[in-house]
A and B are shown apart, each in its own frame.
Chain A
Amino acid sequence: MTAAATASARLRDAWPWLAVVARLVLGGVWLAAGLSKVGDPEASVRAVRAYQLVPDPLERTLGYALPLLEICLGVLLVIGLAQRLAAIASAVLLAGFVVGIATAWARGLQIECGCFGGGGAAAGEDATAAYKWDIARDVGLLVLAGLLAWRPTSRLAVDRLLYREERMGEEATLR
């Protein structure tokens, strides 16, 4: 076996555990984001509105729906239920956020991302500085979500209790 092949085999063996870490990071961020907003949905509507991106009725819908959707995804990822579905939905949502923030930046809006509560006008002049980090964070999470959607096999997951074959045939699916 070449060194590269050994390394890739090792990565394959480690992936089910790395996937746990990825799940907890992504799920944890969703929970933090959702829980910080769910108590004040009107503020969430205002944060969506500040992007001036979607028509009025959709602003209300998104404002109320997003925090709960984030909490649902967070729970699913942390307990490891319907992982592929949750990972795909996460990726779609994150891609949407990246587009939202990027266009706010491009249109010269001075707003907070409102990702973890708050939103609306940015305090001071560091709105553009914050956009960079918001986008970097969301792209990083997007990569995690993509990996999880691609290889949803992970340890410590409810999915493993539900699908016996997954455990038995781990060898086969990982190869």
Chain B
Amino acid sequence: MSNRKKRDQRQARAAQLRRDRQRAETRRNRIVVGSIVAAVVVVVVATAVAIAYNQQGGGDAPSGEITAEYGFVYSAESIDSDQRSEELTPVEVVLYEDFICPACGQFEQQVGSYIEEQVSIGAISVEYRPIAFLDRMSTTDYSSRAVNAAACVFDNEGAETFHEFHDLLFANQPPEGGAGLSDDELTALAEQAGADDVDSCISDGEFDGWVEEANDSASQNNVVSTPTVYVAGEEVNGAGGGVPSLQDLLNAVLAASAAPGESPS
């Protein structure tokens, strides 16, 4: 009887010890697992951030007249227009556009010929700031490839051919959600615009780094959508804050040319 009691007590004590040990082990495991998981997550995230700081653009800018804001200047002067009127001071228009953005396509359809005509006589000058905000809208990063191609054309042939190519890109704008135009199709359009030697520049993505810098610059200028239009430094919006129409652009240009001297930097 007494022996059995002692044995029971011993067993109970042993069981308690086992439980305690197990509990301690579990607590230890929890801390170990938690630390490992936290460490892995921190390493993964830190790696991503390191990449962020090492991948900031870089690469050469296209040659020719490129502004500090990654713009291509299309003006009577830059295309050496013979219809240029010496009496006019061009009103400065700035256009942020993404080549796959449908609203940009519609905007260009409305304003394209007006811009061409007004630039040729020197009434306005246009600084195109093409950007690639919508790479997710194609399966092949079409936005970035198209801006690179435009930079290739400007680099090789200058403002007038660039403008021609720019218009062709919008006239042949691919729908969102697809593969966009291929590099070969971009090259063909560039040739149609008059740039014969941009094949490798387009397929090699020669200005990819510069395009990334252009995106970043636009975003730092608080450009959050395309098209974003400035006339003489003032943002121009359409009805209800939407995309401006030809009439909105016209009004803004008229207002600016009536009150000159406030051209932006």
Contacts and interface: CB of A to CB of B under 8 A. Distances in A.
Contacts of B45: 65, 68-69, 72
Contacts of B222: 52
Interface string A32-44: 0000000111110
Interface in B21-76: 22-23, 25-26, 29-30, 33-34, 37-38, 40-41, 44-45, 48-49, 51-53, 56
Contact of A166 (B26, B38, B219): B26
Contacts of A118: 136
Contacts of B38: 82, 85
B44 A68 contact: yes
Contacts of A166: 26
A46 B133 contact: yes
Contacts of A165: 22-23, 25-26
A46 B136 contact: no
B212 A42 contact: yes
A81 B56 CA distance: 35
A82 B220 contact: no
- Most chain B CB inside 10 Å of its own CB: which residue of A42, A60, A111, A124: A42
A45 interface: yes
B255 interface: no
B224 interface: yes
A39 B34 contact: no
B136 A110 contact: no
B22 A164 contact: yes
Query: Looking at B23, B33, B219, B222, which has the most chain A CB atoms within 10 Å of its CB?
Result: B219
Contacts of B264: none
B53 A60 contact: yes
B216 interface: yes
A164 B136 CA distance: 45
A163 B37 contact: no
A170 interface: no
A45 B240 CA distance: 27
A117 B135 CA distance: 11
B52 A64 contact: yes
A27 interface: no
Contacts of A52: 222
Interface of A: 39-43, 45-46, 49-50, 52, 56, 60-61, 63-65, 68-69, 72, 76, 81-82, 85-86, 110-111, 117-118, 120-121, 123-125, 159, 162-166, 168
6 contacts: A42-B212, A42-B215, A56-B220, A64-B51, A68-B48, A162-B29
